[in-house]
């Protein structure tokens, strides 16, 4: 009788231990799922994209009369996002491109564009593996390596501008730390051109930027 009671106590103890282990494993598995999917405050997201820059050009004065336009470009882009809340991040976008400027007179040459952009992002479904987001912010555009000319004379341009930027995209997590990304942005940028000290007008580039890439969560 005593042995039977001891066995029952042992069985009960073993069952309790197994139940406790099962609960612990279940909680660990749930925690693993949370860790596997989603983003949280303090995370750093690094994305590398291939982007297509599609200018939406408008001009004024002589530039309009000359039908000045700016060509597309495909370049790499790097961005860094710091999550200040589970659902709220700050993103810095870095990339540079060179564009050829055309007109009814022919090719006017090329100029490099560097538009670092800072965006505040809202991430939907931040705990899931498919995470759409929207962003809005400002960009500073720096124009450099100006090779523009007309009739053998250099065309001068203002070398910087400020403008708004908006963004939409989605991250799709494929492993614990790696995800794929699709993104579209609209950036407002402009410059003023002169030839021999005479104003030619304003060139608004205002590109749409479409990107595909991969990212890592740290």
Q: b/e map of 158-191 (b: 16 or more CB within 10 Å)?
A: eeebebebebebbbebeeeeebebebebebbbbb
Tokens of 13: 């103890």
DSSP class per residue in 177-192: SEEEEEEEEEE--EEE
DSSP class per residue in 25-58: HHHHHHHHHHHHS---TT-EEEEEEEEEEE---E
pLDDT of residue 164: 98
Residue 8 has pLDDT above 90, yes or no: no
Summarize pLDDT for 67-116 with one digit per residue, the tens.
Answer: 999 999 999 999 999 999 999 999 999 999 999 999 998 999 999 999 99
Residue 137 has pLDDT above 90, yes or no: yes
Reported confidence tier of residue 133, pLDDT bands at 50, 70, 90: very high
Residues near 29 by beta carbon (within 8 Å), at least 6 away in sequence: none
User: DSSP code of 116?
Assistant: -
Q: What are φ and ψ of residue 3, in 5° steps? A: -60, -40
Q: What are φ and ψ of residue 23, in 5° steps? A: -65, -40
Write down the CATH number for the domain with range 40-217: 2.40.160.20
Residue 207 has pLDDT above 50, yes or no: yes
Residue 12 has pLDDT above 80, yes or no: no
User: How far is Cα 119 from Cα 178, in angstroms, rounded to an integer?
Assistant: 22
User: How far is Cα 184 from Cα 82, in angstroms, rounded to an integer?
Assistant: 19
User: How far is Cα 126 from Cα 86, in angstroms, rounded to an integer?
Assistant: 7
The answer to whether the beta carbons of residues 128 and 145 sit under 8 Å apart is no
pLDDT of residue 30: 40
> Domain ranges in the chain?
1-36, 40-217
Residue 17 has pLDDT above 50, yes or no: no
The answer to whether the beta carbons of residues 167 and 121 sit under 8 Å apart is yes
pLDDT of residue 36: 61
Quick one: which of 35, 30, 39 has its CA closest to 132? 39
């Amino acid at each position: 009788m005593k042995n039977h009671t001891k066995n029952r106590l042992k069985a009960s103890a073993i069952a309790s231990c197994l139940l406790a282990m099962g609960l612990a494993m279940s909680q660990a598995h749930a925690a693993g799922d949370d860790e596997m999917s989603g983003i949280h405050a303090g995370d750093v997201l690094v994305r590398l994209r291939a982007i297509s820059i599609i200018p939406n050009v408008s001009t004024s004065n002589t530039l309009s009369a000359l039908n000045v336009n700016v060509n597309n470009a495909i370049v790499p882009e790097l961005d860094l996002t710091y999550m200040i809340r589970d659902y709220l991040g700050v993103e810095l976008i870095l990339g540079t491109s060179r564009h050829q400027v055309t007109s009814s007179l022919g090719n006017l040459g090329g100029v490099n564009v560097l538009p670092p952009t800072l965006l505040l992002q809202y991430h939907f479904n931040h705990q899931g593996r498919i995470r759409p987001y929207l962003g809005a912010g400002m960009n500073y555009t720096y124009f450099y390596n100006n090779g523009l000319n007309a009739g053998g004379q250099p065309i001068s341009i203002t070398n910087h501008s400020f403008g708004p930027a908006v963004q939409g995209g989605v991250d799709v997590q494929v492993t614990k730390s790696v995800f794929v990304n699709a993104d579209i942005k609209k950036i407002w940028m402009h410059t003023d051109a002169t030839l021999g000290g005479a104003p030619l007008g304003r060139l608004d580039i205002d590109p749409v930027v479409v990107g595909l890439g991969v990212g890592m969560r740290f």
